[in-house]
Amino acid sequence: MTTHRLTLEYDGTDFHGWQFQRDRRTVEGALREALAAVGETEAGITAAGRTDAGAHAHGQIAGVTLHRDWTPRSLAAALNATLPADVAVVDATRSVPAFHARHDAVSRTYRYAVLALERSAPILRRHAWTVRGPLDVAMMRDAAASLVGVYDFGAFGSAPRPGGTTVRTVHDATVTTHRAGGLEMVVITVTANAFLRGMMRSLAGTLVAVGQGRMAPDAARRMLQAPKARPRSLTVAPARGLHQWAVTYPEAA
């Protein structure tokens, strides 16, 4: 038995999220099918997180425990020859036998892409949220800065397991602008020890509402102070603009 750490990239548009479902197309299902096609029918799989249906990943980490003694290079090549066009293994490394992609992670980074336009953006419609602009980016940055720290983020999402804590540590939260295809894109980047279900999309929705003037500049701070009082005016950003970006681990993992 050998354990490998796979870095996966995928366009989540046509997937019902990461987690395997018998009657739905999922990323884990596609990975299991590819592993079975190369003779690994009983592979053990862990993942750093469960991305939402329609969300994308640039650095999703999967731990796979296999029966055959693969080299990382041959494993990546074999899987990429079998995986569908909207998923790819971009890196593979040997890992310790006990490696668990979720439990061993020390931080995760998500990005959310927003276009502020008065028209549609056909080229980027599958990977960004188009909103009515303009956006006050400076105000969004101030609101994002208030998210950094150890807080109860219950107003922004729910715990993965019933009764689980909704306290999370946000290490960094930034709002930047980038040019993409002649368009200016606003990118919200958040790094945390872990995320609640729906947390990143709720954070993005809040920051965009602040940028549009629909919510007060201190809205995010007030939501942290009242984690059980989710504002009715909060718009949860759609999954298409969400990009799981990176996961970090201790050197020994």
| Cis previous bond, 134, omega within 30 | yes
Cα 129 from chain centroid?
15
Cα(220)–Cα(155) distance, integer angstroms: 9
161's CB contacts (< 8 A; 6+ apart) are none
Strands (E), the chain: 2-10, 44-47, 56-66, 87-95, 107-116, 129-131, 149-152, 167-180, 183-192, 242-248
Q: Which of 14, 52, 69, 136 is catalytic?
A: 52
Burial of 180 by CB count in 10 Å (0-12 exposed, 13-18 middle, 19+ buried)?
Answer: middle
143: its two tokens: 């609101």
Cα(221)–Cα(238) distance, integer angstroms: 22
Give yes or no: 142 in active site: no
246's CB contacts (< 8 A; 6+ apart) are 58, 59, 108, 109
Catalytic residues: 52
